[in-house]
Amino acid sequence: MKKIMLFMLVILALSVFVLANSVANPDTMIEETTGTIPSLDPAWCYDTASVESVSQMYDNLIQYDGTSLTNYLPMLSTNVPSVADGTIKDNAKTYVFHIRKGVKFHNGDILTPQDVKYSLERLLVLDRSGGAAWMIAEALMPTIDGNYVDSITQWAAKYAGVKKWKDMFNKDGSLKTEYKDAMIKTLNLLNSVFEIKGNDLIIHLPHPYPPFLSMLAHYAGWTSVEDQRWAVKNGAWPGTADTWWKYNNPTREKDPLYSIENGSGPFMLNRWERGREIVFERFNDYWAGPAKIKYAIIKRVSEFTTRKLDLQRGNADIIYVPEQYMLQVEKMSGVQVLKGFPTLEVVSGFFNFNVNAKGKSFIGSGKLDGNGVPSDFFSNINVRKAFEYLFPYEKYINQVWNGEGMIPNSCIPEGLLGYSKEVPSYDFNLNKAKEYFKKAYGGELWNKGFKVTIVYNTGNEQRRTACEMIKYYAAKVNPKFKISVVGELWASYLDDVFAGRLPFFVMGWTADYPDAYDFAQPFLSSFGTYGNFLGDNFRKFATKELNPLIVASMKTSVPEERAKIYKELTQKAHDYAVELYIVQPMDHHVQRTWVKGWYYNPMSLMAGLDFYKLSK
C-alpha cells in the first residue's frame, strides 16, 4: 500500500512539474509593456510603441543582418545597394533597388516600385509636426544656402518667395492662388529624385548622404512601404502635385490611415483596442514564408506587479521591467533575464550659454552677487569644467540605473562608427571642481557664491536625482553655492527648454538610425535640436568650431575618414566642456524560457520586438 501511495505521489509531482513547465498558448506570443500606440500609419509613427506595431505589419526595403548595425540583408528590395555591384554610383548619390516581384499586400494587391516611391514621398508630404520626415527630407531634398532642409515646406516657401509656410495661406486655411505654382514646383522637385526602370527604383540624391541606407532599414517604421492604391482609396494623398499641401501636417485623427493597415509584413491587424492592446494575426502569404506563431499580442499593463504575476503564471511571454525591479525577476523559475546590452542612447546635461531671463527667471538676481548668476554664466569654460568634475558618474549609474549604464565620453554612444575610446571622459573629482570654480571670474565666483535653479520634468526620477546630486556636491565644494531643484510638468518643461529659460537641463537622445551624425547634429550643431536652445554664445562657438566638422562628416562615405572627423569633433567637445554626458544606459530583456528566436540588435531593442523571428 505504501509503495502504491509513493508511486502516486511521484506521478502527481511529475504532473505538476510538466504543467508548470509546459508552454502556455503555443500559437500566441504575448508582450506586456507600458506604452500606448498613437497611430498605425507608417508616415505618422515616430515613437517606440507605434514603430513596434508598424514593423509587424509593414516591411522596408532592407533589413539588418542579425545583430549587425552596418551589414544589411534584402527585404522588399532583392539587393542591398553597394558600390561593388554598381548599384551605388555617382559618388554615392545614386542608389538602385531591385524591387522584389510577386510580394502581396494583405489585401492581395501586388507590390510595385511605384509603391516604394509613393511611400517615401507621402512621408514628406504628410510631414506631421514632431514627426520623422526631417531625416528623409535632409537626404532627398537639395540644401538651401548650404544647409540641409528638414521639411518640404521650406522649399515651398523659397519658391514662393515668402518667409514662412503659413504666409502662403488665407485665414480660412486655403492656399492663396498666387502660390499654387510654387507648390507644384516643390512637389516636382521631390518627384525628380525618383526614377523607375522596369522593376527597379532608382533614387538620385541631390548630395551624398552616408546614413541613407540605415534610414531605409527595417525598424525605421516611417520608411515602411505602403500600398498606394489602397492608401488613396482610403483617403490618403493621391500622389499628385496639384493638391499635396492639403495633406500636410494633419491632426492624428484626421489622418485617414491612422487606425487601419495594409502592409506586406508577416502579420495583419486583427484588432486594436486603443490604450489596452493590439492583436496581430499571421499573414500566410508573406513573401518570406508564414510566421511560426499565429497570433502576437502587445498589451498595455501599467502596473509592474501585474506584469510580473502574468509572467510568473505564463500569461505573458515577455514583459517590460524597469531597472529598479530587476531583482524581482532575476531568480524567477521559468524566466530568462538577458542584460548588459548597450543602447544607442546618451543622457546629457546641457549648459545654456545665454539664459533668457524674461518673464520666469531661474537665475535669481541675474548678477554675480551671491544671489544669482549672470545670464551667460555657462559661457564661462571654467564654470562648465567645474560642473563636469562635480557630477558623481559611477555613483549615479550604480544607484539610479542599478549599474546598467556606462559613462559616456561624448554624445556619440559606444557601438557606432565615430565613437572613440581615445577621447577621455570626465570623472568625479571635487578637488578639480574646486580648482575650476576658483578660476572662474578671477576668484570672484568662489568668494561671493551663486544661486541658480535647475529644473527636471516631474515624474522622471532619474533626472531629478541627477539634479539633486549636482545640488548636493556643489554645496559640499562651497556652502555659498546654492542650487534649487524644481520639477515641472512635461509640457511646461519643454516650453522652458524651447524658450531658452533653463540654465541647465537634462535630456536624452535615442538613435533614429545607427549613425554618429544622428547624435552629433542634435547635440553639437548650432542648428541642431538642442543647439537652438543653448544661447547665442553657444551658436557662435559651434558655428566656428563644431559645424565645419559636422558638415565634413557628411561629405564622405569612407568610414575611416568619417571616424577620424568624429574623433576630432568629440575631442573638441570634451576640451571645451560643451555638455555634461551623464550616462549611456544599458538595457535588458525579460522573457519566459520557452521563447525562442530573440536576439539583441540595438535598433530592434529600441524599436520593440520582431514577432516574426519568435517562436515557442
Tens digit of pLDDT for each residue in 549-584? 999 999 998 999 999 999 999 999 999 999 999 999
Radius of gyration of the chain (CA): 27
| Nearest C-alpha neighbor of 593 from the set 322, 292, 320, 312 | 312
Long-range CB contacts (within 8 A, 24+) of 428-432: 428/389, 428/390, 428/391, 428/392, 428/393, 428/394, 428/395, 429/389, 430/389, 430/390, 430/473, 430/476, 430/477, 432/385, 432/386, 432/389
Split at pLDDT 50, 70, 90, the class of 7 is: very low
pLDDT in tens, 226-238: 999 999 999 999 9
Residue 278 is assigned to a structural domain of this protein? no
Half-sphere exposure of 450 (CA within 13 A, CB side): 27
CATH of residue 393's domain is 3.10.105.10
Q: Tell me, what CATH number does 67's domain have?
A: 3.90.76.10
| Count of H-run helices and E-run strands, the chain | 20, 18
Question: Angle at CA 10, nearest 5°, toward 7 and 16?
Answer: 145
528 versus 376: the higher-pLDDT residue is 376
DSSP per residue, 241-262? SSSGGGGSS--GGGSTTTT---
CA 367 – CA 355 distance, rounded (Å): 12
- Residue 568 C-alpha from the chain's centroid: 25
**H or E segment and range at residue 350:** strand 345-351
Q: 409 or 361, which is more confident?
A: 409
Residues 73 and 181 both lie in one domain: yes
Give me 213's grid cell.
Answer: 541606407
- How far is it, in rounded angstroms, from Cα 383 to Cα 438? 9
Vertex 265: Cα angle to 233 and 594 (nearest 5): 145
Q: How far is CA 447 from CA 440, 481, 597, in A?
A: 11, 10, 62
Q: Which segment of 98-107, 425-434, 525-534 scores lowest on mean pLDDT? A: 525-534
pLDDT at 490: 84
Residue 118 belongs to domain spanning: 48-254
CB neighbour class for 93 (10 Å; exposed up to 12, middle 13-18, buried from 19):
middle
CA dist., res. 53 & res. 49, Å (int): 7
Number of structural domains the chain divides into: 2
pLDDT at residue 15 greater than cutoff 60 = no
Which residue from 410, 464, 461 is spatially nearest to 574, judged by alpha carbons? 410
Of 216, 238, 254, which marks where a domain is finished? 254
Report residue 59's pLDDT band, with 50, 70 and 90 as the boundaries.
Answer: very high
Is residue 112 in some structural domain? yes
Classify strands 481-488 and 450-457 as parallel, antiparallel or unpaired. Answer: parallel
**Beta-carbon contacts of residue 492 (< 8 Å; ≥ 6 apart):** none
Per-residue pLDDT, 35: 82
Cα dist from 321 to 279, 580, 589, whole Å: 21, 28, 8
Strand, coil or helix: 150: coil
Residue 3 has pLDDT above 50, yes or no: no
Q: Which of 199, 222, 254 is the last residue of a domain?
A: 254
Q: Hey, what's the cell of 407?
A: 559613462
pLDDT at 604: 77
- The three grid cell numbers given for residue 499, joined into one nine-digit string: 524658450
- pLDDT of 96 > 70? The answer is yes
Establish how many alpha carbons lie within 13 A of residue 381's alpha carbon, considering only the half-sphere containing its beta carbon: 7
Same domain, 440 and 545: yes
Task: Tell which of 254, 279, 309 closes a domain.
Answer: 254
- Per DSSP, what are the bridge partners of residue 110? 104
- Residue whose C-alpha is closest to residue 110's, from 229, 222, 198, 201: 229
Residue 546 falls inside a structural domain:
yes
Does 3 fall in a domain? no
Average pLDDT over residues 32-49: 91
Q: What is the pLDDT of residue 21?
A: 56
Asked whether residue 40 is domain-assigned, the answer is: no
Residues 289-323 as b/e (b if ≥16 CB within 10 A, e otherwise) read eebbbbbbbbbbbeebeebbebbbebebbbbbbeb
pLDDT of residue 8: 40
The reported pLDDT for the residue numbered 179 is 98
- Can you tell me the mean pLDDT for 63-91? 96
**446: in domain:** yes
| pLDDT tens-digit readout, 261-300 | 999 999 999 999 998 999 999 999 999 999 999 999 999 9
Higher pLDDT among residues 99 and 527, named by residue? 99
- Locate 398 and state its grid cell: 550604480
- Contact at 8 Å (CB) between 584 and 413? yes
pLDDT band for position 460 (cuts 50, 70, 90)? confident
Residue 8: inside a domain: no
- 349 and 250 in one domain? no
pLDDT band at 387 (very low <50, low <70, confident <90, very high): very high
Does 4 have pLDDT greater than 50? no
For the cut 60, the answer to whether the pLDDT of residue 322 exceeds it is: yes
Q: What percent of the chain has pLDDT over 70?
A: 96
| 80 and 222 inside one domain | yes
Q: Which stretches does DSSP call E strand in 59-100?
A: 62-64, 72-74, 88-89, 94-98
CB-CB contact of 548 with 560 (8 Å): no
Q: Region 581-597: what's the mean pLDDT?
A: 96
Alpha helices for 478-508 (secondary structure H): 490-498
Residue 342: strand pairing partners: 586
C-alpha cell at 256: 485617414
- The mean of the pLDDT values for the chain is 93
Q: Based on the fold, state whether residues 243 and 356 are members of the same structural domain.
A: no
Banded pLDDT at 347 (limits 50, 70, 90): very high
In a domain, 290, yes or no: no
Residues 247 and 360 grouped into a single domain: no
* 3-state secondary structure at position 383: helix
Cα distance between residue 221 and residue 216, in whole Å: 9
Contact present, 114 and 223 (Cβ < 8 Å): no
State CA 98 to chain mean position distance.
29
pLDDT number for residue 48: 85
User: DSSP letters of 553-600?
Assistant: HTS---HHHHHHHHHHHHHHHHHTT-EEEEEEEEEEEEEETT-BS---
Query: HSE of 420 in the Cβ direction (CA atoms, 13 Å)?
Result: 18
